[in-house]
């Protein structure tokens, strides 16, 4: 799953009203093994029964493609057999309407019971509207996860999803060109000047590693809550980050303003580029590339001597608040997130496990390619999960103006924040 692409999809909420008609189990854009879904009363109690009724039918929407989808189908079918129930599975991974398609379906009573593969930054909007159930206290155990993961899942003091795996960014380098990956900014500049560097420069998901590391932030956090009125994408540190991004094209000429993430990935995969920044979702394709000898390392420090702060995305399972089978829903959600399941997601698509016990396993710690992603989590910042984050994704067009010099980094940063605030006003109207 490519977060940079999905980040723009979540902003499509406003144009989706009325698109859902009988979408509880099948749509024109989905491959489905089901024809119906179960909806009914809500269940928002702090604890849920562990007794799963037999003979019921649940509908599960899966928002991740193969091979993850195939594993989820296997796990869901195994759970169904163990409990004497049926799970009808719908592949939503190619749904053009994005994750907010669930919101549209749920508002009309046509949503599924359980959803797998939902990025955590959708939790705030869904929770605010009462479309998803908080995780029962006897289901979620915070001590099993790092604090950054728990923070990502929490909205107004409540956890609204079960984590399945993490995603963040790391440095990918061509080992035929670069023998030792750069650890500092000066080393990074030297290698980039000699061997080249490109990445997805127009997307805040990728850019935030630089913006946050230089001192910017999206929404100010205080006592575990994010303040949508305090936006730090144009503070002094953020502006230094924007200047850094602008200079990658204007000063260092590593890229030109038309360079996209797709171009960067293609050149790196073809062995024509020394370094890029990307996520674990690219590993499978890199392994297929003929003649490519690559390594993955921690992101280098910035000019201020501090670590980059890539966004942390947590892929989760959520439960429809309208489902009348809450005990079964959460039991199924648990089955999709066991340590064994997380290890399977790692083996198939190099996805980062969320469980401390799995992260500490020899298989993870001894994997030289993967370990950098796991290590990077300690510097990663959870993507904001409050509803106002939708306005941030919608305002990203100004980033291109900063990169191509149409506006100065300072003016562009101010425009970015102004556009975000306008979007927030529309959201609250």
- As a whole number, mean pLDDT of residues 406-426 equals 98
170-174 vs 275-278, strand pairing mode:
antiparallel
- Is a pLDDT exceeding 50 seen at residue 28? no
Q: How many other CB atoms sit within 10 Å of the CB of residue 368?
A: 10
Domains, the chain, ordered by start: 3-167+312-382 (3.40.190.10), 170-311+385-428 (3.40.190.10)
Strand segments (E) across 129-206: 154-155, 158-159, 162-167, 170-174, 197-198
What does the alpha-carbon distance between residue 232 and residue 111 come to, in Å, rounded to a whole number?
36
The overall average pLDDT reported for the chain is 89
Backbone region of residue 162 per phi and psi (left: phi > 0; alpha: psi in -120 to 50; beta: other values)? beta
Rounded to a whole number, what is the distance in angstroms from the first to the last CA of the chain?
A: 33
- Is a pLDDT exceeding 80 seen at residue 288? yes
Under 8 Å between Cβ of 197 and 190: no
In Å, how far from its chain's centre is CA 235?
A: 25
Select the more confidently predicted residue: 311 or 16.
311
Q: What pLDDT does residue 43 have? A: 32
Under 8 Å between Cβ of 182 and 188: yes
162-167 vs 311-319, strand pairing mode:
antiparallel
- As a whole number, mean pLDDT of residues 274-291 equals 94
What does the alpha-carbon distance between residue 390 and residue 228 come to, in Å, rounded to a whole number?
11
Q: What pLDDT does residue 371 have? A: 85
What does the alpha-carbon distance between residue 159 and residue 276 come to, in Å, rounded to a whole number?
34
SS3 64: coil
Lowest mean pLDDT: which of 19-23, 52-56, 369-373?
Answer: 19-23
Q: What pLDDT does residue 382 have? A: 96
Render pLDDT for 122-171 as a digit per residue (tens, 0 to 9).
999 999 999 999 999 899 999 999 999 999 999 988 999 999 999 999 99
Which of 5-9, 30-34, 172-176 ranks highest by mean pLDDT?
172-176
- Is a pLDDT exceeding 70 seen at residue 428? yes
Confidence at 369, pLDDT banded by 50, 70, 90: confident
- Is a pLDDT exceeding 60 seen at residue 3? no
Q: Name, in order, each residue with C-beta under 8 angstroms of 48's C-beta and a sequence gap of 6 or more.
A: 136, 138, 139, 326, 327, 330
Q: How many other CB atoms sit within 10 Å of the CB of residue 266?
A: 13
Render pLDDT for 381-393 as a digit per residue (tens, 0 to 9).
999 999 999 999 9
- Is a pLDDT exceeding 50 seen at residue 41? no
Strand order in the sheet with 275-278: 197-198, 275-278, 170-174, 294-297
- Is a pLDDT exceeding 80 seen at residue 20? no
- As a whole number, mean pLDDT of residues 311-334 equals 97
- Is a pLDDT exceeding 60 seen at residue 25? no
Q: What pLDDT does residue 257 have? A: 96
- Is a pLDDT exceeding 80 seen at residue 34? no
Length of the chain: 429
* H or E stretch covering 304: none
Select the more confidently predicted residue: 41 or 386.
386
**Cα–Cα nearest to 93, from 312, 261, 334, 281:** 281
**Cα–Cα nearest to 39, from 126, 131, 109:** 109
Task: Please report which residue ranges of 130-235 form alpha helices under DSSP H.
Answer: 147-153, 185-195, 204-213
- As a whole number, mean pLDDT of residues 329-347 equals 96
- Is a pLDDT exceeding 70 seen at residue 36? no
- Is a pLDDT exceeding 70 seen at residue 378? yes
What does the alpha-carbon distance between residue 427 and residue 100 come to, in Å, rounded to a whole number?
15
Render pLDDT for 44-100 as a digit per residue (tens, 0 to 9).
335 666 789 999 999 999 999 999 999 999 999 999 999 999 999 999 999 999 998
Q: What pLDDT does residue 423 have? A: 97
Residue 194 has phi, psi (to 5 degrees) of -85, -40
Strand segments (E) across 242-286: 275-278
Render pLDDT for 235-277 as a digit per residue (tens, 0 to 9).
999 999 999 999 999 999 999 999 999 999 999 999 999 999 9
Q: What pLDDT does residue 349 have? A: 83
Render pLDDT for 191-218 as a digit per residue (tens, 0 to 9).
999 999 999 999 999 999 999 999 999 9
- As a whole number, mean pLDDT of residues 394-417 equals 98
What does the alpha-carbon distance between residue 56 and residue 77 come to, in Å, rounded to a whole number?
13
Confidence at 15, pLDDT banded by 50, 70, 90: very low
**Cα–Cα nearest to 337, from 115, 81, 90:** 115
- Is a pLDDT exceeding 70 seen at residue 188? yes
Select the more confidently predicted residue: 376 or 14.
376
197-198 vs 275-278, strand pairing mode:
parallel
What does the alpha-carbon distance between residue 408 and residue 386 come to, in Å, rounded to a whole number?
29
Backbone region of residue 109 per phi and psi (left: phi > 0; alpha: psi in -120 to 50; beta: other values)? left
Tokens 């630089």 map to which residue? Answer: 210
Q: What pLDDT does residue 24 have? A: 42
């Amino acid at each position: 799953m490519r977060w940079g692409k999905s980040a723009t999809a979540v902003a499509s909420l406003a144009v989706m009203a009325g698109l859902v008609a009988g979408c509880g189990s099948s749509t024109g854009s989905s491959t489905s093994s089901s024809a119906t879904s179960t909806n009914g009363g809500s269940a928002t109690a702090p604890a849920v029964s562990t007794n799963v009724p037999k003979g019921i039918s649940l509908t599960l929407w899966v928002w991740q493609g193969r091979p993850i989808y195939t594993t989820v189908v296997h796990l869901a079918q195994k759970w169904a057999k163990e409990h004497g129930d049926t799970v009808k599975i719908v592949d939503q991974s190619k749904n053009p309407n994005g994750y907010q398609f669930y919101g549209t379906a749920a508002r009309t009573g046509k949503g599924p019971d359980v959803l797998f593969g939902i990025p955590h930054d959708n939790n705030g909007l869904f929770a605010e509207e009462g479309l998803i159930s908080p995780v029962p206290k006897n289901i979620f155990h915070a001590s099993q996860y790092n604090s950054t993961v728990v923070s990502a899942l929490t909205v107004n003091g409540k956890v609204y999803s079960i984590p399945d795996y993490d995603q963040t960014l790391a440095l990918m380098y061509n080992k035929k060109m670069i023998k030792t990956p750069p650890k500092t900014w000066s080393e990074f500049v030297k290698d980039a000047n000699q061997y080249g560097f490109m990445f997805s420069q127009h997307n805040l998901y990728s850019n935030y590693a630089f913006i946050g590391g230089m001192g910017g932030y999206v929404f100010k956090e205080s006592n575990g809550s994010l303040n949508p009125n305090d936006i730090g994408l144009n503070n002094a540190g953020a502006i230094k980050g924007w200047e850094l991004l602008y200079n990658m094209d204007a000063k260092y000429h590593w890229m030109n303003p038309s360079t996209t993430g797709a171009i960067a990935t293609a050149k790196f995969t073809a062995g024509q580029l020394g370094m890029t920044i990307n996520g674990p979702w690219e590993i499978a394709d890199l392994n297929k590339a003929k003649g490519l000898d690559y390594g993955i390392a921690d992101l280098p420090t910035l000019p201020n001597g501090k670590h980059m702060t890539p966004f942390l995305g947590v892929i989760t399972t959520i439960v429809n608040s309208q489902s009348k089978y809450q005990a079964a829903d959460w039991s199924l959600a648990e089955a999709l997130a066991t340590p064994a399941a997380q290890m399977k997601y790692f083996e198939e698509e190099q996805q980062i496990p969320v469980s401390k016990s799995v992260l500490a396993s020899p298989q993870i710690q001894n994997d030289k390619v993967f370990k950098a992603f796991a290590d990077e989590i300690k510097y990663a910042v959870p993507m904001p999960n409050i509803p106002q984050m939708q306005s941030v994704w919608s305002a990203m067009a100004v980033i291109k103006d900063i990169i191509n010099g149409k506006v100065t980094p300072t003016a562009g940063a101010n425009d970015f924040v102004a556009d975000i605030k306008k979007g927030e006003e529309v959201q609250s109207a």
